[in-house]
Amino acid sequence: MGAFVLRLKLLLTDRIATVCYALCVIVMLSVFFNMNLHASDNSRVPMGLLCESESPVAVRLRDRLLGSDALRVTTGSMEELTELLMDGYIGSIFVIGDDYETKLRDGIREDLIKVITPSDDTSSIIVQDIVAGYMMYDVCFFRTYDEYRTLPGNGAETLTEEEYAAFVAEVAEDPDYGFDFDIRYVDIENPDKSGISVTTAMIYRQIIAGLIGMLLLVLVVCGCNGFALEHGQSITARRRTTGGNLFAAYALELLAVLVYLTPAVLLSSLIMIKESGFGGSVVIFLLGEGLCAFFVIVCFALTRAVRSASSYQLVGTVVCLFFGACGFISTFSALTGTQVLGATPVAVYIKQFAEMLV
């Protein structure tokens, strides 16, 4: 175990490796906080909302829109929202007027909500359809209650609006009156193969996985730099003359490099625990360890193949960029032949990492 302890001490006392380690961890955290935490926001359609009414129906619609998974709603005064609209932060402004509930009760279905949008905007049509979906319950409720009150009762007592609302809510919760869509995501090239829904948030997290994988590769290159220095200074040749089992010694030293990288791998799994759960976080940790173990062996082989540490750093950087590019291309490109690149370590890491977040 002497070789393991010595290599670990050398890594921990290497100032350049320590600085590189700290920078990679900082970048890793920055990537997470700036992309993952806002992935959901970036995947939703931005809109402004001004609610001029405090009536229960208007407030209910406002709360539904604020809780929408499809919309990123910004509220404020008309002046504030107009400024955001002009600056391009939102695509449209929806105004719930102070007579919104009155119009619904009177059966008026025109001009229920005022929409302010630039002439060249295309997203407002989508937003209107989404907003209409949240309005539909109240529109239908008042329409049907108005029709219900005109029906002949045959002596039966007419329900009050509150009683009718309670009855409708009870029916809505009854599974016998419910319906659902059977949605299947199919690979066009393999119609028999079903897939999962791919959202913009999911793509952001795939990018996070790729960037974390690249950072781990950088750490591997830095961690193996000592082997290149020793090889360039002929220390490797002198070790052969001392006898002993060099294979076992190098295996322990490579294990020390992997242990040295473990805190960063652990951090990469823990920052995603909220999305992946504990089990998924464990899998992400094992994926990271496997990726690092593979590239520790690759980088060690590079140190044997080059003559100097500078050559190793250059070749190691090229290898990192190559495998990283293969991973991103195979994940995000629809170009013919990229399926072959999907077998590369970084591509496998991105794919499995992303699946843990589904």
Contact 90, 81 (CB under 8 A): yes
Report the sign of the C-alpha dihedral through residues 109, 112, 116, 117, in that order. Answer: negative
Residue 244 has pLDDT above 80, yes or no: no
> What value does the mean pLDDT take over residues 229-235?
71
Distance CA 299, CA 221 (A): 6
> What value does the mean pLDDT take over residues 250-273?
86
Domains in the chain, please, with CATH? 2-38+199-355 (no CATH), 44-187 (3.40.1710)
Residue 233 has pLDDT above 80, yes or no: no
Distance CA 289, CA 238 (A): 32
More confident residue, 35 or 67: 67
Q: Other CB atoms closer than 10 Å to residue 241's CB: what's the count?
A: 6
Q: Other CB atoms closer than 10 Å to residue 179's CB: what's the count?
A: 5
- Among 41-50, 183-192, 198-207, 282-291, top mean pLDDT goes to 282-291
More confident residue, 182 or 130: 130
More confident residue, 40 or 173: 173
Distance CA 189, CA 337 (A): 13
Token output for 346: 């970084």
Distance CA 280, CA 102 (A): 50
Token output for 92: 């449209």
Which amino acid belongs to residue 17? A
Contact 3, 253 (CB under 8 A): yes
Give the model's confidence band at 78: pLDDT under 50 very low, under 70 low, under 90 confident, else very high.
very high
pLDDT given at position 336: 44
On whether the pTM is more than 0.85, the answer is no
pLDDT given at position 121: 73
Residue 14 has pLDDT above 60, yes or no: yes
pLDDT given at position 213: 82
Contact 21, 219 (CB under 8 A): yes
Residue 234 has pLDDT above 50, yes or no: yes
Contact 206, 36 (CB under 8 A): no
pLDDT given at position 50: 93
Average pLDDT over all residues of the chain? 79
Give the model's confidence band at 204: pLDDT under 50 very low, under 70 low, under 90 confident, else very high.
low
pLDDT given at position 185: 53
Residue 235 has pLDDT above 70, yes or no: no
pLDDT given at position 200: 59
Distance CA 321, CA 225 (A): 17
Q: Other CB atoms closer than 10 Å to residue 108's CB: what's the count?
A: 11
Distance CA 113, CA 94 (A): 7
Return all residues near 78 (Cβ < 8 A) that are at least 6 apart: 50, 93, 95
Residue 156 has pLDDT above 80, yes or no: no
pLDDT given at position 357: 61
Give the model's confidence band at 215: pLDDT under 50 very low, under 70 low, under 90 confident, else very high.
confident
pLDDT, tens digit (0-9, with 9 covering 90-100), for 95-127: 999 999 999 888 887 788 899 888 777 777 888
Residue 308 has pLDDT above 70, yes or no: yes
> Which stretch of 85-94, 289-298, 303-312, 327-336 has the lowest confidence by average pLDDT?
327-336
Residue 17 has pLDDT above 60, yes or no: yes
pLDDT given at position 335: 46
Give the model's confidence band at 40: pLDDT under 50 very low, under 70 low, under 90 confident, else very high.
low
Residue 339 has pLDDT above 60, yes or no: no
Residue 218 has pLDDT above 70, yes or no: yes
pLDDT given at position 61: 93
Contact 233, 340 (CB under 8 A): no
> What value does the mean pLDDT take over residues 312-316?
86
Instruction: List, in sequence order, the alpha helices (H) in the chain.
Output: 2-13, 15-31, 39-42, 56-66, 78-87, 100-105, 123-150, 161-173, 200-223, 225-232, 235-241, 246-270, 273-305, 309-332, 345-355
Give the model's confidence band at 193: pLDDT under 50 very low, under 70 low, under 90 confident, else very high.
very low
pLDDT given at position 157: 79
pLDDT given at position 72: 85
132 conformational bin, left if phi > 0, alpha if psi -120 to 50, beta if neither: alpha
